[in-house]
Structure 1
Amino acid sequence: MTKKILNSPAACPSQMLDGFLAAHGGTCERVPGVSGLRVRQVRDKVALVIGGGSGHEPMFTFFVGDGLADAAAAGNVFASPDPNTIVQTARAVDAGKGVLFVYGNYSGDNLNFDIAAEMLEEMGVPTRTVRVWDDVASAPAQRIKDRRGIAGDLFVIKIAGAATAAGLSLDEAWRVAAKARDGVFSIGVGLAGAAIPGESEPIFTLPEGEIEFGLGIHGEPGIRRMPLPGADELTDLLVDTLFAETGVSAGDRVCTCVNGLGSTTLMELYIMNRRLRQRLDCAGVEIHDMQVGSYVTSQEMAGASISLLRLDGELAGYFDRPCSSPHYRR
């Protein structure tokens, strides 16, 4: 069994939130009765509510703060929050101007957030939803709505948070967030699987010296297995896939993210970012911002992903607005 520091698997999400609030309770608090986190001061604006399974920290729960999400609903490890948790979390920050949901495109999340949205609408709370589907390896472009959400969540939540903080209406905040979602593309690679707390085996295994190209953040199979190349060659494979998918070329402006999946070191991520910069500069692509770190993780999974967000003037303006949470700020 993989060694983990915990008391019991079932208690992990709740005890994690307790520990988080012990350190950062000045700005956030628990949503009473459910596994949710909210800002202490409700703003007079559209509420941005995010959420998903625990185990991807700091995503989603630790992206609650100024200029980011107003609240986050947390499920069990790699499992969607239930509809009641989502409803109570949303009601805790509803200021009468509606609720914008942003979350990754997974069947359990889709079902439970849709049920919660229907319940809120019946209570007189208008809602809009943006499902993030940035993982280009998970479905072809013709079936883009079947794609998974991975590290592109970072950019969509950042821009959605800025849009709601700017005082946009629910429909306008939805439009901006959806525009960001439609401009972000990601692909990842796994080197070793993680273990869900309480499980004796990792969620996937690989032969010695092989990697999974295009895997998902829950260990979903990728495009192919292949020998582990050097860092530059691996980065080139990821970048070439994104270039082919997005059509990003000379004169375009992008934000990038090299995201670690849990156990990948910053040394490795910055080595990849070095090559990413070289490739973008060589292609004549303008780099607006580069993010490097572990933002959407999968427990102790080894691996990384690269995300590209194509910007226009509107999205750049919202991306550049300040934000602050304990694990992410600009």
Structure 2
Amino acid sequence: MKTKKLINAGADAVDEMLQGVLVAHPRHLYAVEDVPRAIIARNGPRKGKVGLVIGGGSGHEPTFLGYVGKGLADAAAIGNVFASPPPDPIIACAKAVDGGAGVLFMYGNYAGDVMNFDMAAEMLALDEIEVRTVLTTDDVASAPADQREERRGVAGNVFIFKAAGAACDLLYSFDEVERAARHANARTYTMGVALAPCSLPQTLKPNFLIGEEEMEIGMGIHGEPGVARESLKTADAVTDELMDSILREMKAERGDRVAVLVNSLGSTPMMELYIMMRRVKARLDEAGLVIHTSLVGNYCTSLEMAGASITVMHLDDELQRLIDHPCDCAMFAR
């Protein structure tokens, strides 16, 4: 059975979405001329500032383009649904935001993104634009702790990009921006659960199969296999399972501060997310941890996938300052 979507043609969905985004957010965003998938912040880039370019496949909105704006990312390169952007929009983004202090690429650790962003960096080097890369690797389920560099980047992108963007906006040096970005990534942990699949605009068919009474712990935001398929549990039991993995690895001490994100994968309603949030708070209270800031809602989605993820960033004084730094983006402001 085909799914139903409010689209015109599947092949046009991404470009028509971007047209709508630019119409809706002209104060924040514009596209590079003749490169419609290079989305630039109107008030972000400036001389002497490290430029921050993020990007990846469509279908995760408001990631990535929703986090382009002053105090966060300067640009986002946009790919097809669940597919890396090609080098051309990445290069256009970097050139548009280059203020002479270097350009930092940040994106989730996926093979296609690594290949295309690396190709773009090599081509930019020919134009004497220095580029460095920090991959996000917050998905606890995707590799063991001793293989952190192999993990995927998922909803933790929100906090990691936020910290890096603040460091750029505060005019940290290139070395210090890179250090802060890596530090933010190293202290961010995400676990998710999927209840039902999504479908791509081109196919209108579910991208994986799961039983009516099943859930999958640790499934990726493109439908990558998780760590366990189990019988559906209550919200508290699911939240406990996700939090057990996060707290076990985070190794925080009583009194430490955290930032928390309870994120919908697309179709999970706010009611269910807030039910999970109350349990997250209870678990953090038991561990003696203090919530400094919390986000609940659609922040890193997977089209209309049913499910949720929990992200915890283990704050220190620097990360707290960076998370608190003001930003003004099309779909996110603090």
Shift of 1:10: 1.6
TM-score, length-normalised on structure 2?
0.97
Find the counterpart in structure 2 of residue 23 from structure 1: 24
Find the counterpart in structure 2 of residue 328 from structure 1: 332
Q: CA RMSD in A?
A: 1.0
Say which SS state the counterpart of residue 256 (structure 1) adopts: strand
1:161 maps onto 2:165 in alignment: yes
Find the counterpart in structure 1 of residue 257 from structure 2: 253
**After superposition, where does 1:41-52 map in structure 2 within 5 Å?**
41=43, 42-44=45-47, 45-52=49-56
TM-score, length-normalised on structure 1?
0.98
Shift of 1:151: 0.4
Count of residues in Structure 1 that have an aligned counterpart in Structure 2: 330
Shift of 1:58: 0.3
1:105 maps onto 2:109 in alignment: yes
**After superposition, where does 1:36-75 map in structure 2 within 5 Å?**
36-41=38-43, 42-44=45-47, 45-75=49-79
- In 1, the alpha carbon distance for the partners of 2:42 and 2:234 equals 47
- In 1, the alpha carbon distance for the partners of 2:8 and 2:205 equals 19
One-letter code aligned to 2:296:
V
One-letter code aligned to 2:115:
L
- In 1, the alpha carbon distance for the partners of 2:245 and 2:264 equals 18
Find the counterpart in structure 2 of residue 206 from structure 1: 210
Whether the aligned pair in 1 keeps the contact of 2:4 and 2:204 (CA below 8 Å) is: no
1:151 maps onto 2:152 in alignment: no
Which piece of structure 1 moves more, 77-86 or 42-51? 42-51
Find the counterpart in structure 1 of residue 9 from structure 2: 8
Which of 176, 179, 186 does residue 182 from structure 1 map onto?
A: 186
Say which SS state the counterpart of residue 296 (structure 1) adopts: coil
Say which SS state the counterpart of residue 140 (structure 2) adopts: coil
Shift of 1:251: 2.1
Shift of 1:176: 0.5
Identity level (%): 52
Find the counterpart in structure 2 of residue 242 from structure 1: 246
- In 2, the alpha carbon distance for the partners of 1:149 and 1:239 equals 18
Say which SS state the counterpart of residue 92 (structure 1) adopts: helix
1:192 maps onto 2:193 in alignment: no
- In 2, the alpha carbon distance for the partners of 1:292 and 1:102 equals 23
Which piece of structure 1 moves more, 21-30 or 172-181? 21-30
One-letter code aligned to 1:13:
V
Which piece of structure 1 moves more, 282-291 or 260-269? 282-291
Find the counterpart in structure 1 of residue 34 from structure 2: 33
One-letter code aligned to 2:9:
S
One-letter code aligned to 1:132:
T
One-letter code aligned to 1:38:
I
Unaligned residue ranges in structure 1 (runs of 5+): none
Whether the aligned pair in 2 keeps the contact of 1:128 and 1:171 (CA below 8 Å) is: no
Unaligned residue ranges in structure 2 (runs of 5+): none
Which piece of structure 1 moves more, 235-244 or 32-41? 32-41
Whether the aligned pair in 1 keeps the contact of 2:58 and 2:78 (CA below 8 Å) is: yes
Q: List, as ranges, runs of 4+ consecutive aligned residues in structure 1 with deviation greater than 4 Å.
A: none
- In 2, the alpha carbon distance for the partners of 1:27 and 1:280 equals 36
Shift of 1:308: 0.8
- In 1, the alpha carbon distance for the partners of 2:150 and 2:92 equals 28
